Amino acid sequence: MNHYRLTSLAQSLPATVPFVGPETQERQFGRPFKARLGANENVFGPSPKAIEAMAEADHWMYGDPESFELRGALAAHHGTTPDHIIVGEGIDGLLGYLVRLFVGQSDAVVTSDGAYPTFNYHVAGYGGVLHKVPYRDDYEDPEALFAKAAEVNAKLVYLANPDNPMGSWHSGSSLAAAMDHLPDGSLLVLDEAYIDTAPEGTALPLSWDDPRVIRMRTFSKAYGMAGARVGYAIAAPELITAFHKVRNHFGMNRAAQAGALAALADQEWLAQVKAKIVEARNRISAIAQDNGLVALPSAANFVTIDCGRDGAFAKAVLEGLVARGIFVRMPFVAPQNRCIRISCGTPDQLDLLASELPSVLNHAKIS
């Protein structure tokens, strides 16, 4: 019998995934969801020009390993140079490369308790030690994160702005001020996946050359290309160059590169989608209010709803919606797990939510 010679670290880790996909649940239930409102995808879809570009890409060819055109277009869009930009397989892929560059056995990393779990998954995979701080009033707490980083000599500090799963956000100016307390030798990993749906002034107003921070962005949310897996990071050229030591140079497929390039050029479509996201956030908030629940303010493409009790009650509400064909998710950690999280949907999808939520709540209350 063969015995696989895994590393001792790999042997110690559980075989798991950070998220259970809706497709997995559909297979378990033997039916598709009627409303897919849990993965923070953009149901309004990508630019038609992006769809056309992906369809017409020469699929028999590998993608450009340097993503030269896309990096150039992103640099022009952000007023910087291609040397400041790395393109990768979504923010998840880039986080994996970044952790590989920085984190070895027992290295300290800081994040918020209940923040985006895929980052934690990568840290565990390279033997790092996670140190977590709690949210403060449903916001990630930069001051506490940076204080913990100083305490444990953290190599990386993860912060999402706007935040997932709560939808809360800090102004860019307040975050820049807080960074005065980021200790020397710690790098801020600023996940800005939802920056395109956030209010003006949310982006960090610091130079792209600032060596203290790497900013992660994506085409998965407002641009509607989650299935294509296109993310990018912006940082000082010295850090960007380091990615070439470890990244999968053919990880970006040609169709995804072409689609992202076309999507970036179609800012008119992006503006229309952002308006639809605002409308959907307002509708979700109204549905929550109609049912005696509280919708938290959101700068993302989802709304987090406070169910008003504890995590067990919120889980019952979530399970009731799932049983009725409405896929939603919820935060993992108390006290944020008193909430459920609902992605922006089409009017028809939100009509279904409005129709089913009252009976779901009634059933959860008597269970």
In this structure, are 156 and 250 located in the same domain? yes
Q: Which of 208, 236, 265 is the last residue of a domain?
A: 265
pLDDT of residue 2: 64
Residue 232, domain member (yes or no)? yes
Return the pLDDT at 37.
Answer: 97
Do residues 216 and 299 share a domain? no
Residue where a domain stops, chosen among 265, 288, 322: 265
251 belongs to a structural domain: yes
State whether 32 and 126 are in the same domain.
no
Assess whether 258 and 275 both reside in one domain: no
Q: Are residues 152 and 32 in the same domain?
A: no
6 lies in a domain? Answer: no
pLDDT for position 270: 98
Does residue 11 belong to any structural domain of this protein?
no
- One domain, residues 130 and 223: yes
Domain of residue 76, CATH code? 3.40.640.10
Clarify whether residues 234 and 321 are in a common domain: no
Q: Residues 79, 37: one domain? A: no
Domain that holds residue 235: 48-265
Q: Residue 367, exposed/middle/buried by CB under 10 A (0-12, 13-18, 19+)?
A: exposed
Asked if residue 15 belongs to a domain, the reply is no
Could you tell me if 216 and 109 lie in one domain? Answer: yes
What is residue 74's predicted lDDT score, i.e. its pLDDT? 98
pLDDT of residue 19: 82
If one counts the domains in the chain, the total is: 2
Asked whether residue 249 falls in the same domain as residue 205, the answer is: yes
Q: Residue 80 falls within a domain, yes or no?
A: yes
Residue at 354 is within a domain: yes
pTM (2 decimals)?
0.96
- Asked whether residue 261 falls in the same domain as residue 312, the answer is no
CATH number of the domain within which 311 lies: 3.90.1150.10
- pLDDT confidence of residue 266: 98
Q: Do residues 331 and 223 share a domain?
A: no
The domain boundary residue, chosen from 265, 299, 331: 265
Task: Please indicate, yes or no, if residue 208 is contained in any of the structural domains.
Answer: yes
pLDDT per residue of the chain (367 residues) written in tens, 0 to 9: 568 899 999 999 998 877 888 999 999 999 999 999 999 999 999 999 999 999 999 999 999 999 999 999 999 999 999 999 999 999 999 999 999 999 999 999 999 999 999 999 999 999 999 999 999 999 999 999 999 999 999 999 999 999 999 999 999 999 999 999 999 999 999 999 999 999 999 999 999 999 999 999 999 999 999 999 999 999 999 999 999 999 999 999 999 999 999 999 999 999 999 999 999 999 999 999 999 999 999 999 999 999 999 999 999 999 999 999 999 999 999 999 999 999 999 999 999 999 999 999 999 998 7
